[in-house]
Chains A and B, each alone.
Chain A
């Protein structure tokens, strides 16, 4: 058991956790604890310090989408994403519910809504109180500052009136030809004007200072506000659910349409002569069509984050499979024939460095030429062109590695094939391919990694409803909340990429024959 676990960890490339397993079986505890300290605890500490640095640095940079979110904000954003996902699926289920199930859910939701509204009412009252208290407190706090400003303003106004009055009187006394006197007068007025302006400026400064003066809202007020928003959102959600469980429910819609149809049928059976048998029949047919349509309809659920992840994974594997089906046969041919290799080389060298950002628009247009009606196509052109772009960018490592693997099959193994007079097919399937499998899988591993990276960029451009589109939508939304949700994507892309890589490592280890994996 212990060795099986250790072996599995090794195959999965997680041998860091080997000491934990050994410790659990009580093997040399001191050595294991030291290893755990060195290879698990220290990396963990580094990760934590990364989070701390992030937490410290984030709020210090202001953007038009708010501050750079801290880890806590990102976690909250993730919770929001999950909530949205759960709610949308609840609505989807509600739309499809019928019979007793529907009624049961309806009563449940309605009772919940009542509770929510009750609590919400209480919170609103409490919030009003708290708000009033806060305003009072704020007013009290601001009062001295306001007084200072008011006094200053009064002072300055009095001073201004006084100076202006003096100047006006002086002006009246000036003689027509008193040039010197007028000169002095100009100087005096200029001086006064400057003083007024200075005072104005000072007042302005005082006013802005006053505006910046505030006291923190009490924590109760903040929590009350948060609770209120949360409950209001839940209320909205519950109201929506009730509508999908009642008016907008599919089974009810069908029922209603069927009642109409029944009436129409009754009308038709009684109709004759001038009563428009033709029109009644048409109505019946239309009703029937409508019922069929409703039966097929489903709740128009927007893709949630997890739906988008799933789309992305499907997309990357579609592209990866396309790449594999192109790269492995081509690679085998390259490895078998140096002439073929030489003739492929210009193409490989030319296309290998091309960026996905260039491929995507080209592929998009070409695919668009094949799929003229995207609404009815069995595969969305955006999805397909992203997958093809992934394939175009990720097939090279597999191609090159396969060619290398096939070209470097050991001569001894080929001699065995020659001695046995294996035909070309047997030589390929029994000697050459098995022997190059480890290298092929090494290539596939790199390809999948490249594909995953290309995918996000591709989806961002093509609007295929995956993670890339999610990022793009969040970017265009531009609120501080969506800013934080983009950080969530970073972690998901990283974790999924890591898991995909592990998957390939495991497969690579399983096909590599040098290590005795068969004992697993």
Chain B
């Protein structure tokens, strides 16, 4: 039996701008994500990672190639594929409760008022924002905002969770707390997650599979790594894990390669041929 990918990008091209002055962001990208898999997409900044997420989410459509979800081409965004936006995208005029309520009302219109209240409260508690229900995003810290954004996305109960650099704007402490939280949520309530990150350790810590993108423009899938480290993973013990270290070295080596290949492209500057004077 051929296992069909749950979410798939097949030979996707995408670019911005008019044809005369076109900036190709992605070129011939092929990615397959299986159901209930936690996938990390790793790349330098400017490699079109966010574009990739909006293609998967359906916010943008590819110029050529196809985005397939359960074998069907994606034609637009859907609450089925919840996106956690990089800059939170919270609505500043709504409270914590209101922001989640907006999503819940849309996705579960059949809920009664009571049901809705307890349901929303559950997600507020899940990301430990209890007590801040009536605050507006402007009154929250960065970490709280990201947690709220996460709660909103989770409350939609998406089949696929698309995380666009969810933790990159946070301080190290908040970051590790949220990493654990995301993993907990994923483990307790299995679903497919695609996470974009520029942090290698984070990718290895969290993901089953890592896709490494080549640097843009015209970014493409460079290599695919499987992470076969036992869960639960812990950052402290991972540093001593051999699998972790070897995988990390492999990926780092690949990334260094990019730089070297870039160096090869660069024009070599002829150095003047001076010899040190010899005084005898």
Interface residues of A (CB under 8 A from B): 412-413, 415-416, 418-422, 426, 430-431, 434-435, 437, 511, 513-516, 518-519
Query: Is A434 a contact of B91 with CB atoms below 8 Å?
Result: yes
Given known contacts A437-B93, A514-B92, A516-B138, A421 and B87 CB-to-CB distance under 8 angstroms: no
Of all chain A residues, the one with the shortest Cβ separation from B78 is A421
Given known contacts A412-B85, A513-B93, A420 and B103 CB-to-CB distance under 8 angstroms: yes
User: What chain B residues lie within 8 Å of A413 (beta carbons)?
Assistant: 89, 91
Query: Is A431 a contact of B91 with CB atoms below 8 Å?
Result: yes
User: What chain A residues lie within 8 Å of B91 (beta carbons)?
Assistant: 413, 416, 430-431, 434-435
- Main secondary structure, interface of A, reads helix
Query: Is B79 a contact of A518 with CB atoms below 8 Å?
Result: no
- Kindly identify which residue among A421, A431, A515 contacts B79, using a CB–CB cutoff of 8 Å: A421
B77 at the interface (CB under 8 A from A): yes
- Kindly identify which residue among A419, A426, A513, A519 contacts B59, using a CB–CB cutoff of 8 Å: A419
Query: Is A434 a contact of B134 with CB atoms below 8 Å?
Result: no
Query: Is A422 a contact of B93 with CB atoms below 8 Å?
Result: no
Give the contacts of B131-148 with A (CB-CB under 8 A): 134-136, 138-139
Of all chain A residues, the one with the shortest Cβ separation from B85 is A412
User: What chain A residues lie within 8 Å of B54 (beta carbons)?
Assistant: 415
Instruction: Give the distance to chain A from B76, nearest Cβ to Cβ, in Å.
Output: 7
Instruction: Give the distance to chain B from A136, nearest Cβ to Cβ, in Å.
Output: 83
The answer for the CA separation of A420 and B106 in the assembled complex, in Å, is 7
8 A–B contacts from the bound complex (CB under 8 Å) = A412-B85, A418-B59, A418-B77, A419-B57, A419-B78, A431-B91, A515-B138, A518-B136
Assuming A412-B85, A415-B77, A415-B85, what are 5 further A-B pairs, CB within 8 angstroms? A416-B89, A416-B91, A419-B78, A421-B79, A518-B135
Counting contact residues on chain B (CB < 8 A from A), the size range is 20 to 34
The answer for the CA separation of A431 and B92 in the assembled complex, in Å, is 10
- Kindly identify which residue among B134, B136, B156 contacts A513, using a CB–CB cutoff of 8 Å: B136
B107 at the interface (CB under 8 A from A): yes
Instruction: Give the distance to chain A from B119, nearest Cβ to Cβ, in Å.
Output: 16
Instruction: Give the distance to chain A from B139, nearest Cβ to Cβ, in Å.
Output: 5
- Per-residue CB contact flags for chain B residues 122-133 toward chain A (1 = under 8 Å, else 0) read 000000000000
Query: Is A518 a contact of B59 with CB atoms below 8 Å?
Result: no
The answer for the CA separation of A516 and B136 in the assembled complex, in Å, is 8
- Kindly identify which residue among A412, A416, A516 contacts B139, using a CB–CB cutoff of 8 Å: A516
The answer for the CA separation of A421 and B77 in the assembled complex, in Å, is 7
B167 at the interface (CB under 8 A from A): no
Query: Is A514 a contact of B138 with CB atoms below 8 Å?
Result: yes
